[in-house]
Structures are given as structure tokens and as C-alpha cells.
A and B are shown apart, each in its own frame.
Chain A
Amino acid sequence: MEPQSLAFRERAAAALQDPHLATALRRLESGWQRGRARAAAALPEFEALRDAAVAIKDHVLENLDLYLEIFERRFTATGGVLHWARDAAEARAIALRICREAGARTVTKSKSMVAEEIGLNAFLEANGLTVVETDLGEYIVQLAGEVPSHLVGPAVHMTRERIAELFARHHGGPLKRDSAELVAEARRVLRRRYLEADVGITGANFLVAETGSIVTVTNEGNAELTQGLPRVHLCIASLEKVVPTVEDAFTLLRLLARSATGQEFSAYTTFLTGPRRRSERDGPEAMHLILLDNGRSAMVGGPFREMLRCIRCGACMNHCPVYLAAGGHAYGWVYVGPMGSVLTPQFAGIERTWTLPTASTFCGRCQEVCPVRIPLPKLMRLWREEAHRRRLPPPVARYGLAAWAFLAERPALYRFVTRLAVAGLGLLGRRHGRFSRLPLAGGWTVSRDLPAPSGTTFRALWKARARSRS
């Protein structure tokens, strides 16, 4: 998928005009945001778990080569087939080959952000396969021909009315109004798909080095039917998903659902270790795992290593004032919200995405709620610096910033200029007390007035205060 991130401003502006989107995003605030706060408050060990999770992830990243070798050995010993993929194209080609070798026509798929990252659906479909998403939100987005707008709830931007119309158009039958009826209809339609599928594709929340297991987490139970019914299970996961032991997975699992939706635990957490065993009567006959790099190995040695701690809970977007106003589609690529503003430039190149790290007020809430304490504002700032170095922002912004930096590095000059500006603006604005238009401040005055300064500068006030105290 080509990133549309350079149009962030235009896409966000359009999103702000959409009343349905505003309603949908408010639900995130009242639902998942409060849910997380409740769940965290109900578990006294929550902060200790976050510290432990950071330690686990950092330890793995410091030894990622070794852990991957161990995971590979144990996964292979269980009868699974491991495929390494350097980039998206390689991963797509391997996936297609596995589907072809299985003689597949229909493929079911439970939600996988890595599959979105490499554009797997479009590629398999272009090669003649029918791909059916089974996570309900992902299925809705697929019917609409859209992409997910949230890590955890791909269709959070949709109203029930819109979903009802989509279902009526694609499934036939009368328009349904009730969410229970719609869920029952999706269940009926997708049940047929599960049974006819030749290959089931899933992602992985964790890979366990100790046992060579794949861990999936869902609320719907769709991962279990996706991998459990077809002959072949194909899992696709990125390098950094590996954790040392099952115990380590539990530490992270205690944080995942609480941070994501405010649930104590998701409905279904499954540890899969190898394909069907000789005595068993169900389960897939073959299990493949595509281990995707796509730039991550380079991140391990660079300034963005901390981003690889991410467990894809979506808490950063649920708490981001920019995401909650603009929605996920404004970001123009697969990963959205604060985590997307750090990851997307990594995968799609800063040239085509430099707007994303600027789409933040740096309020810091994302970092506050991140279960693995990723310093998201710091990482976005690194991208801003990189964009500035490569002269990607427009000249006005770059020269403005350079001018400001020139002043800020010279305190005496700064004092002089700000005093002059305050006095001048105060004089000009003394009649109305505010400006409805001002050169160079159009971005501000287009939607609100700028109050005219009265009195003196902040620094002068501060100095006076310090004097009066002493």
C-alpha cells in the first residue's frame, strides 16, 4: 500500500468535518480509554508489570540474534517449517508459494498487522486466491474496500448503519438494524468460509523461544477457527515478537488486554506448538511460519530500538488528542496514531511520511499509558530532526525554525526581541485587545483570535517574581 501520509493535513481536515467519525472516536474515549484506567487501577501490580515487561523486551532485543536461533531450533523440532523473509516482497512470495503448494483457492485470515504491512491480501488476490478476513472488524473493512483505522478495532470509524448497509449489499437480504443480528449474520456467512478454506493465515502476538510456540490473542475465537480448520496453518510474524519463556509471555499478556480494551484478559489466548500430532484428530496437518525482518534488524542497532518493544495494544492512539480528532485514516498508512508516526517513516521512508511525526502536540499521554514505556515523543522528535536535516518540511517552516533557533541561542537578543514584540503588539492591539488577523500567524487566527499582549514578557515577570520573593 502506497503511503498517503504527506496529505495528513488535508485528510485530517476532511476527517474533522465528518460527524460520524467524531461520534465513533468519542466511543474510544468513553470505552477503551476509561477501561484501561479502570483495569490498571484494579491491579496493584500494574506498574511493576510494566517495568518487568520493559526488562523482558529490552533483554530480548539485546540478544535477538540468539533468541531467534533458539526459537528456530525449537519451532522446527515441533514439526513447523520456518521461512525467513528479508522484506515485504520476499514474505509475499513465500506466502503465495505455500498457498499454491497447498492447492489453495480460498484462504481465511485472522487479523495480522504484519500482513497489512506487507500488503498480503492484495497480492494473494492478484494471484487468483480468495482471501477472507475473519476478525469481524477486519471483515467489515475488507467489505468496504478500506484499510484498518485502529490496531485493535480496525472498523472503529464505522457506524452501525454503515455496517448494516455493507452487509445488505454483500450478503443480500433485508437491512438489519440490530448489532446482535448483524453479528449473527457475519457468523453464519463466515462459518461457511472457515469450512471451505484450504489455508488459514494468522499473525502472532508472541513467539516463545523456550517452547517454539506461537501465541495468538483474540476475543472472537476467530484465530482458533482460522488455524484449526484448514489443512495448512500459515503464521506471519515479525522478528521482535519473540519472548524467552512462557512466564515472560504471561507477564506481557497481563498488560496487553488491560492496556488495549480494559479487559482483565482477552477471551482467547492460544499457545500453538507444531502441527497436528499423529494421535490427534483435529488441527492443521502443516504449520508454516514466515519470520519477517523488513527493516527491523537495522532498528536494533539504531536510535529507534525502543520502538521494537511495542506489543500493538493501541493504548497510545486511544489516548492521543490528534488521533481522537483525526481518526486513523488521516495517517495514510497501516500503522496509525503515535506508534504509527514512529513506525511508518521506518517502513515507508521519511520522505513520504515526514508529516506524521509533526502530527503530535507532544502532550506525552502516549508514553504515559504505553505498557512497555516507549518514549514515543522522543522518537517522533528524532524523526522531526531527520526530516529537518533532509529539508523535507516547506521552506517557511524551516527558515522560521532556524530564525527562532538563532534567537533562542542568544538570551540577550531573545529578551530584546520579545520585549519589542510584546510592546509593539500591545500597542497595536490596545483598541480591541485581540487580533483577528496577523501576518505569519494565519494558522492560528484562521480559527480563533490571538489575544493582544498586555504588560510585559514572561521572562520579565519571572524575574520580578524572583526579586519580590527574595
Chain B
Amino acid sequence: MSEARETVLARLRAGLARSPERRDAAATALEARLRSPRPGPLPARANVAGEARIALFARMAETVGAEVRRLAGAAAIRGELLDYLRCNNLPPRIVRAADPLLDAARLEEEPLLEVRTGVPEEPDPVGLTVALAGIAETGTLLLASAAERPTLLAFLPETSIVALPTASVVGTYEEAWARLRGVPGWPPRSVNLITGPSRTGDIPPSIELGAHGPRRLLVLLVDEAVAKAF
């Protein structure tokens, strides 16, 4: 172990001035605390269920500049996507996650759409991926990295489209994380909480979208999709 490490820890212990017994007791209490994490005060607004929760998620996401569309099932994704690309004057070229929900959308069968699976590169215009949860409290998406879901899909392209099974909308951040906890390989390397498109207030006077990350964020809420087993 490094000399710097020993010096820093020794200084801390000198400052805290605990007896060895108290230190051991503290260490035990601390391990217990880490084994059963307890949430802090949770916003009552997030304590809603069913359609009210989905409505809260959509409203909060729209407040921060995301667009939200409700779809009956995976089969509706393709039409919605083409419509969105046309309306926003975007090239029909997307890079997508190799996720079963998106496989079910059968995007490759659309002759006017160029679809690639994998990691996006500059200047890929549109990234399409899947969120593991939607958090109603603030209209936030929870994305997690995996071999089939590169993180960059939601950061590099100028337009980000994220599919989310309606059944995966939860109330709070803690509920979303609790579903993630305990799965093999947990936590994933990168867990991204995304609330609206990229923004900056650094050049006055206005807030501008698309500073580095996506300028546009479209959330596709898919009703009849199976919620991911975390």
C-alpha cells in the first residue's frame, strides 16, 4: 500500500480521535448500513400508480423538453419512427441497440430506412436504444450499459430515441435502482439517468439544447412490451 494512503488515513484517524473499540463498533455498524440501504425522504408526488404514474412521467419529461409518444406495441415503433424522422427533417439512418424489444419492431424490413446495430460513430444522426426504467418523479430515464446496449447510443448522435416498456415506469429513483440491485454483474458499468435533451445556459441569455449530447430526445412508451427482467 502506498505511503500517501497511509499518511492520509493516519491523519484522518488522528483527527477523529476514536478509541480502537469505538472504531471497531463503527465499522460493524457501517457494514450493516451498507448491507441494507435505506432511502431518505421520498417525494409524495411520486407515490402514484397506474395511469397517473405514466401521466406524471410523461408530463415531467415534456417539461424538460423531451417528446413522449404512447404506442400500443412494438409493432407500432416502425411507423412512429419514420413519422418522427420525416417531421424533423432527419435522414432515414439509425443505429440501434440489439435489444429484443427493438428486434420485435422489425425495422430492417423497412426499405426506406437504413438500420445498423452496435456502437454509433460520428456523424451517425440518430441513436435508438432501450431504457430499463422510467422515473415519474422527474420524467427521468434509466439506461444501463450492456454488450447489446452501448452507452454512446444515447449520447453521441444528435437525435436520441429511447423505447421504454410502459410497465417499467416507476415512481422514484430508488424504486428503479432497487430493481437493478442484486442482478449478476450488478451494477452495470454505466447507469445513465437522463432527464430531457442536452442543454446549456453558458451562452446568455437563453437555455440552448444540444450542447454536446442529443439536441432532441424522443421517448417511445410501449404498452405491450415485456418489462425487462433486471
B-contacting residues of A (Cβ < 8 Å)?
24, 27, 31, 43-45, 48-49, 52-53, 56, 62-70, 83-86, 90, 134-137, 140, 153-155, 158-160, 163, 179-180, 182-184, 186-187, 190-191, 194-195, 209-211, 213, 219-222, 224-225, 228-229, 239, 244-248, 250-251, 253-254, 261, 263-277, 279-283, 291, 293, 297-302
Whether A297 pairs with B39 at a CB distance below 8 angstroms is no
Whether B191 pairs with A281 at a CB distance below 8 angstroms is no
7 contacts between A and B (CB under 8 A): A64-B16, A86-B7, A86-B8, A136-B202, A228-B151, A265-B140, A279-B146
The residues in B between 152 and 206 inclusive whose CB is less than 8 angstroms from any CB of A are 152, 155-156, 172-174, 177, 185, 187-206
Whether A49 pairs with B189 at a CB distance below 8 angstroms is no
CA distance A137 to B4 in the complex (A): 34
Q: Given A179-B208, A265-B140, is A63 in contact with B145 using a C-beta cutoff of 8 Å?
A: no
The residue in chain A whose Cβ has the minimal distance to the Cβ of B39 is A247
Can you list, as one digit per residue, whether each of B129-158 has a CB less than 8 Å from chain A (1) or not (0)?
Answer: 000000000101000011100111001100
The residue in chain B whose Cβ has the minimal distance to the Cβ of A72 is B5
Chain B interfacial residues counted at CB < 8 A: 75
Partner of A220, one of B13, B150, B195, B200: B200
CB distance from A397 to the nearest CB of B (A): 32
With a cutoff of 8 Å between Cβ atoms, the chain A residues found around residue B23 in the complex are 66
Interface residue? B50 (CB, 8 A): no
Which of A24, A210, A239 is most buried by chain B, counting CB atoms within 10 A of its CB? A210
CA distance A344 to B97 in the complex (A): 47
With a cutoff of 8 Å between Cβ atoms, the chain B residues found around residue A271 in the complex are 187, 190-191, 193
CA distance A276 to B134 in the complex (A): 25
Whether B188 pairs with A140 at a CB distance below 8 angstroms is no
The residue in chain B whose Cβ has the minimal distance to the Cβ of A276 is B189
CB distance from B182 to the nearest CB of A (A): 12
CB distance from A69 to the nearest CB of B (A): 7
The residue in chain B whose Cβ has the minimal distance to the Cβ of A239 is B8
Interface residue? B11 (CB, 8 A): yes
With a cutoff of 8 Å between Cβ atoms, the chain A residues found around residue B147 in the complex are 277, 279-281
Q: A186-B211, A251-B39, A293-B11 are in contact. List 8 more A-B contacts (CB 8 A).
A: A136-B211, A183-B200, A210-B37, A221-B211, A228-B190, A239-B8, A251-B40, A268-B193
Whether A225 pairs with B189 at a CB distance below 8 angstroms is no
Q: Which one of B27-35, B76-84, B221-229 is at the interface? A: B27-35
CA distance A45 to B191 in the complex (A): 26
CA distance A64 to B203 in the complex (A): 39
Interface residue? B41 (CB, 8 A): yes
Partner of B41, one of A49, A211, A269, A291: A49
CA distance A250 to B191 in the complex (A): 13
